[in-house]
Structures are given as structure tokens and as C-alpha cells.
A and B are shown apart, each in its own frame.
Chain A
């Protein structure tokens, strides 16, 4: 990591790009492949997410160095950079402790730190500080706090890489510009051979959305499409060839002869990212078991191919007829994809992933529940403005559990607006037991209507809380029910969300506490 620190200094100090290419190429030559991948990732800005805050790091360093806060402040005022200041506050490591860990090892340690519970990260950080020299600590601190920035463009890095390994700098630049995880990328993935025209781009990372979608910002910034839980692939038509790749870097073309027709239908030099879904030819329902069987089977019978034909559900278009689209925003790529699919004959084994037409998070949340009827497994959210390099797919799955419950209380928030929170109950014998207090999920028009109803039907008030007759039934989604002995129900529901309002449903027809207890044991 000290080598990386020195490299960054040199790249920042270099007078022009020609010098930068030479400096980077020379550094790459001196490294083993594992470290080369990391150097390329970091200098082009592929850095890990923030694992600790600057304030935490500052507190830990001041404590470890046994320095008063004012002296750290004075030092920070001079250095101007927190990561660097903290890096220099602690003694240099002892030479007797052996050589400092190399880049790949340091990055693995940083990953280990990020992987543990936030409360347990301090020990790992302190251990890392004791083995790194200050220059390397400064880089590590930037990586820890998410303030690390790349110093060269992918284009410049690829020129340096091409000098070292030979090969096509333009192809490497495309690869470096795309999202990729240095921890799982091999040098060979970054350096396509001259005949590697059919090799895939890196796959855009897909992560489960484990918070409320509102945390992503305005719904309008995000494109939403149905995802069917198929096999993620990149399908490449180039140089007259046809290849389908799974994310593990394995070609799966031979598993899907039913897609070969696309090789003739798609324009030359086209790359599509999507998922392969096998479905029932009559009902159209996806057949996940058939997909698993197809991947496992040695030979593919005609019967199997007929019973469960494959279709490429296209999510993204990376190259079209020789044009690299990676720098365009996702929304544009998606438009081109729809136009491309519309031009293909109707029997072609490809269709664009169905876009979710609902706007706004509450509407989409309700649509999410209906997705199962379409055979969809989740919703894929992609930032409309993201170029391919910054594309990250958020996988939004329906809440794993839901109950029908009745509204018993509503809480008035600050000011005259709609009500802030609602309390719901389930049946326990003849009694109603409150089990959930939720505010997220109700679309604005429903919320306004419900607020009006509550105001008109209030039977009692306790401070800001209004009691209403138990007649309005809602579906409440949650991720888990855990034991909570101090609550009346004995249970706490996590990640609560109001899913839908059943205006037509009677209050007799709600779930019981026993049902909820059973769910909690699942």
C-alpha cells in the first residue's frame, strides 16, 4: 500500500499524461497480478464503500496517539486533510515487525473491517494502523471513510496497461470504465486477448434493497423493471460470433440453443445484458426448477427444450451495432433497447424486461405485491442518469411476510397536514391486540382520504392519538416478527410498511395473533 501511496503522489505530480502513462506502466510492471488488479481499480476510482466515519476515525486516532483534541485540531488545520492528519499521528511501524502488508492483503483487511458489525470495526482499524507506514495509512484512511478518489481516467490506465501486457487499449478502457469488483476480478478479465471480442463486460452489481425505497431519493430518478429471478447473462453478437456469458465468467451459450436464433436477428456488434428465463409455453409462468435442471443436465432433450423454452429478458443495452453506449445514461440505453426489441420479429426469443408503469414509491410498493401474479420475483431499480460505469441494480423484493390488520388509532403529526402514523391490531379471541405502528407506504391520495375518515370518525382522543372504530382493514408487510415480551402482543414486527387498504373487507376478516406467532417462528 505504500507503493500505491507513492504511485498516487507521482501521478498527481506528473506534468502531463505521457508521463502519467509511463509512471503507471512502470509501477504495474513491478507488481504481481493480484496487486495489479487493485492498483488499476483504485487509481481509476473503484473504491470500496465507506466503513467508518471521519469522526470515528478521529476519535480512535486521538485516543491511540494519546494526544489532546486541540493538538489534533492544530495539526488538521495545517494538513488540511483528516485522513492524512490521522495517518501521521501514530508512530511508524517497527521494522522488526517485518514488511508491511501488500496491497491485496491490505484491501482484504479493509474488506474484513467493513464486514464486521460497525461496533467491532475499531479493533481492525487499530491493528491495520500499527502495521502500515503513515503514507500508506493515509490511503487506507481515505478508503475507510469513503473519501478516496481516483487519480487517472480509465483511458489513461488502459494505455499504461496495454504497454505492459500488449493488447487493445480501447477494449481495456471499456472494461476499466465499467463497474467491476477488484476482489473477484482477475487480470485476464481486464486484458482481453486480441480474439477476445466475444468476452463480456463486467456485470453491473446487483444489491438487495434492504431499506425503505424512499432512502434512494425521488422515485422519478429510478427506472423500475420486473425481474424474474432468471440467470443473469450478457449476450454478445460480434465478429460474426455469438456468445452468452454468466457472471462467473463462464460461457453458457451451449446451454441455450433456443437463443441461437438471436445471433442472426441482432445487429453485428451488439451486447445485451439481461436474464434468461425459462417459462411454460402456454401459461407463460417462469419455471425456476426447469432452469436449474437445464444448467445441471448433460444433454438437452428436444422435449425439455419444448416444455420450457428460454427467452432473454433484456434489462440493458451496452453496445448497439458497433456503438458503445456505456457513457449514455441508463434511461437512454433502455430506450434504445426497447426500440431494438420492437424491430425484431415477434417470435424472437427476446423481450425487454417489462417496465413498472406505476410512479411514486407507494404505488410501486403496491405494484410490488402484484408482481407475483406476473411471475416476477422482484423489481429492479436502476438510476436513470447512471452511465454503465456507475450502474448499480437495486433488487427490491416484496416483503417476505404480510398480515391483514385493522386500524385502531391514528396519530396527528405537527401542523394541520395528514395524519402521521397509524396503529393496527389483529384479533386475539374476541379482543383486538395492537401489533404494528406504521407510517410508510400509503400513497398520498389514500393518506388524505384516510385522514379525513379518521377526523370524521374519531371516538376518543389521548393527546395526539385519535381512537377510531375498528373497521378499516389493511395489509401490513414486514420482514420479520421477533419476540418482544414488553409489548402487549409479545411480538415486534420489523421493517414495517402499509401495503394496501382493503376498503371492501370486513373487520372480522383479519389475521389472529396466533397466525402472527406462527409467522414469527418461521
Chain B
């Protein structure tokens, strides 16, 4: 007899029939288990959310007064006929993998994850399972990150170059996660002051309230000139509006996994790029799949087809999430 699947994809997203809940649904549902608070995973309008306390703080910051039940790391919670627990994914503070167990069969939904510890987010750890649903934003072998300390050194060297020219450095970074990771990497001091855009400051504050140690730095006053030699962290869409002081210029860089390839860098407008990603690279994805011990893997987000084909060629029952099983 074939067992009913632990997780299925319905019109609202990933769904657990036995527990009657969705994970990171893309439309409002009755009960949403939320891996992390980025907008493509945490959409508003659901009646109730379940998340870690860190993510809960972010959800309230982003979505306002929503009903969130918090669950501590690793604590099992029975929901209907399923047992759910949350485990660090390393993507950003509070970000979780979701473990779902039904009648002894365990599936893990990775959410977004990175395997390298960044010193700020709770470090990713593998969760043993039968089936693993993994993101693969960077699921091609050309994506291979340098250690974060190397990237930090590169950024610091660039900041010194910009400061030496009497210019102002700006790094475009997502306000939640990447910005705080950069703050953490750069707060030790550079050739000038480190400032953040108010939007980033607000996200940082929410994380601080949730108990994370995000360095506090001066906040940019919108419209006011930024001192020379400064480094400003700002959301990507706002970097152009920053006003440098005196005769200096703005030198703008981006920090993202997409900066790894020259072609992508150019397609995204050129400029200086630092390869700093909150997603797993190719070795990280492969290591994660292996560490879970899963024999079934479903891939989603990014190069899902290629990564599934690769895993299948290694003998795993692997296919794209939502794709029909191979005959």
C-alpha cells in the first residue's frame, strides 16, 4: 500500500494534509509555518503564523499586528497528525528549516539556507530525514563562495581605496539579513564612519529587540550630505539618492551571490560587486543533501531542474518540486 505523502503542493503552496498547514504559502491560508521573514516566503493575510521568535519579531515589524505563535529551536509541536519542529537554516537570524514528521516518515523543508556560519545568524545544521526539499538558488557548479572572511577583506580594501580618493562608498544590501551581516563584518572599523539607511536601522532594531547582537551605528539622515570616507549601507533601490559631501563622488557596490559571475554583474548594471550570499553554494548544497541522509530530494527556487538531474545521476530519487514522478 502506498502511503499518503507527508507534503504536497497545492494552489497555495507546500501543504501538509495530516497537519492541515502550509509552509511559506504564496497566498493567505489558515495556518502558515514561516521559515523566515523575507517577503517571498512570508506573505501577509494568513490567519495564523508559526515561526521562531526571531522570525516572529521580523514578521510583526514587516506585516504589523499578525497572529504569530513562536516555537523554540528543536522543540517538537504536534499539529494534527503531524509533528513539526524548527531548526536553524543559517540564512539570516531566526531563519529556520521545517522538520515535519508523519507516522515515522520525516521530511525537511530547507527554506533558504547557507551552510557557512556567519557569526550572526544561528548556524545551519543538517537535520536527518527521509525526504529533503531544498532550495537551489545557486544550484550550478559555477557557484562556489570564498570564505566570508576573504570577502570582508575585499570589501575593506575597497572601502580604503574609495576613502583614499576622497569619495563616499555605498553598498546596496537587502535591509533584512544582508545589511546586518555586513554590519557584523565591517563594524570593527574602517577608514571612515559606517552609516546605515533608516530602513536598515529599523530592521536592525527589530533584530536587537529579538535578542540579536547587531552593531549599532549612526543612521543616515535622508537628504543630508554623507561625510567623505564614509561607508553607507543602503537598500539597493535607494543608493542613487545618497548625497556625498564636498567634492567627493559616490562609489556604489553590490554584495550578493549574483556578483560571482562577470556576465551577471554586467547584466545587473556593472559597478563593483562582492560575492556575499546568504544562500548555499554548489558545494554547500551537495554537502547539505548528503548530510541529511535523505533518499528523496525535491528541488525548488533557482536551478531546480539542473540540480535535480544532477542528484538523480548520483542515484537519489530527485526531481523538481511539483514535477510529476519519473515513470
Chain A contact residues, CB within 8 Å of chain B: 6, 9-10, 12-13, 15, 19, 22-23, 26, 65, 67-68, 70-72, 74-75, 78-81, 84-85, 88-89, 91-92, 133-134, 138
Query: Chain A residues near B161 (CB, 8 Å)?
Result: 10, 22-23, 26
Question: A133 to B251, Cβ gap below 8 A?
Answer: no
Q: B222 interface residue, CB < 8 Å from A?
A: no
- The secondary-structure label for the interface of chain A is helix
Cβ of B303 to closest chain A Cβ, rounded Å:
7
Query: Chain A residues near B158 (CB, 8 Å)?
Result: 10
Q: B261 interface residue, CB < 8 Å from A?
A: yes
Task: List 6 contacting pairs A-B, 8 Å CB cutoff, sorted by A.
Answer: A10-B272, A13-B253, A78-B142, A81-B261, A85-B142, A89-B141
Q: B273 interface residue, CB < 8 Å from A?
A: yes
Question: B146 to A92, Cβ gap below 8 A?
Answer: yes
Partner of B303, one of A19, A26, A74: A74
- Assess A13 versus B141: contact at CB under 8 Å? Given A68-B313, A74-B303: no
Q: How many residues of B contact A (CB 8 A)?
A: 31
Partner of A9, one of B146, B165, B272: B272
| Beyond A22-B164, A88-B143, 7 additional pairs, beta carbon < 8 A | A6-B154, A9-B265, A13-B253, A13-B271, A79-B264, A84-B262, A88-B144
Q: B310 interface residue, CB < 8 Å from A?
A: yes
Question: B154 to A79, Cβ gap below 8 A?
Answer: no
Between B141, B264, B283, the greatest number of chain A beta carbons within 10 A of the residue's beta carbon is seen for B141
What is the 8 Å Cβ interface bit string for chain B, positions 132-166, against chain A (1 contact, 0 not)?
00000000111110100000001001100100110
Partner of B142, one of A9, A70, A88, A91: A88
Q: B245 interface residue, CB < 8 Å from A?
A: no
Nearest CB in chain A to that of B261: its residue:
A79
Q: In whole angstroms, how far apart are the Cα atoms of A91 and B143 in the complex?
A: 10
Question: A12 to B270, Cβ gap below 8 A?
Answer: yes
Task: Name the interface residues of B219-274: CB closer than 8 Å to any CB of A.
Answer: 249, 251, 253, 260-265, 270-273
Question: A91 to B144, Cβ gap below 8 A?
Answer: yes
Question: A91 to B283, Cβ gap below 8 A?
Answer: yes
Chain B contact residues, CB within 8 Å of chain A: 140-144, 146, 154, 157-158, 161, 164-165, 249, 251, 253, 260-265, 270-273, 283, 303, 306, 309-310, 313
Question: B142 to A89, Cβ gap below 8 A?
Answer: yes
Query: Chain B residues near A88 (CB, 8 Å)?
Result: 141-144, 260-261
Query: Chain B residues near A89 (CB, 8 Å)?
Result: 141-142
Query: Chain B residues near A23 (CB, 8 Å)?
Result: 161
Nearest CB in chain B to that of A27: its residue:
B161
Question: A92 to B144, Cβ gap below 8 A?
Answer: yes
Question: A67 to B251, Cβ gap below 8 A?
Answer: no
Partner of A71, one of B143, B262, B306: B306
Query: Chain A residues near B165 (CB, 8 Å)?
Result: 19, 22
Question: A15 to B249, Cβ gap below 8 A?
Answer: yes
Query: Chain A residues near B264 (CB, 8 Å)?
Result: 78-79
Q: Which 5 A-B pairs have the closest CB atoms?
A: A80-B263, A88-B142, A75-B142, A13-B272, A75-B140
Question: B273 to A13, Cβ gap below 8 A?
Answer: yes
Cβ of A22 to closest chain B Cβ, rounded Å:
5
Nearest CB in chain A to that of B305: its residue:
A74
Cβ of B10 to closest chain A Cβ, rounded Å:
30
Cβ of B261 to closest chain A Cβ, rounded Å:
5
Question: A71 to B146, Cβ gap below 8 A?
Answer: no
Nearest CB in chain B to that of A73: its residue:
B306
Query: Chain A residues near B310 (CB, 8 Å)?
Result: 68, 71
Question: A81 to B262, Cβ gap below 8 A?
Answer: yes
